[in-house]
Amino acid sequence: MNIKIIGVGKLKEKYLAQGIAEYAKRLSKFVNFSIVEVPDEKAPEQLSAAEMQQVKAKEGERILAKIKDREYVFALAILGNERSSEELASEIDHLATYGHSDITFVIGGSLGLSNEVLKRADTQISFGKFTLPHQLMRLILAEQVYRAYMINAGSPYHK
């Protein structure tokens, strides 16, 4: 089983990298876990709607280049479906049981994901209506994936 997180931009904060490394180590008992970074598109603070779409499109091309046809893709999107930890665990277990051994989660940049990435996704997942830094989402997502494996293993971790 392979779980990959694709994130836009370089992770700069040491504490986030340390947290992700800890969950990656824990997950290594269950799956091949990896994080793939794609460069963010440099853009000024004030963008027109058309410029925003251009930035998302360029980042989207970089993301799509890292996704293989066989991968089952979860796009993180505010308008996606919220799931409980148990529901995510069940979904991952179901995917593994029915032949999806390559699961990819995609976290967009500060402007979100392009329509092309959203169309490629097999499903959209939301962590609520909060606006969270996309860098922090990598850590939160890594923890939730680990939690899913612990739930599926019947571990007391999930309490």
Is the confidence at residue 148, as pLDDT, over 80?
Answer: yes
Is the confidence at residue 43, as pLDDT, over 90?
Answer: no
Is the confidence at residue 131, as pLDDT, over 90?
Answer: no
The answer as to whether 29 is a domain residue is yes
The answer as to whether 106 is a domain residue is yes
Is the confidence at residue 37, as pLDDT, over 80?
Answer: yes
Q: Can you give the pLDDT at residue 5?
A: 98
- For residue 27, say whether it is annotated as part of any ligand binding site: no
Q: What is residue 82's three-state secondary structure?
A: strand
The answer as to whether 157 is a domain residue is no
H/E run at residue 119: helix 115-120
CATH code: domain of residue 84: 3.40.1280.10
Question: What are 8-28's pLDDT values in tens digits?
Answer: 999 999 999 999 999 999 999
Q: Can you give the pLDDT at residue 130?
A: 87
The answer as to whether 76 is a domain residue is yes
The answer to whether 58 touches 39, Cβ cutoff 8 Å, is no
- For residue 79, say whether it is annotated as part of any ligand binding site: no
The answer as to whether 158 is a domain residue is no
Q: How many domains is the chain partitioned into structurally?
A: 1
Which whole number is the average pLDDT over 58-81?
97
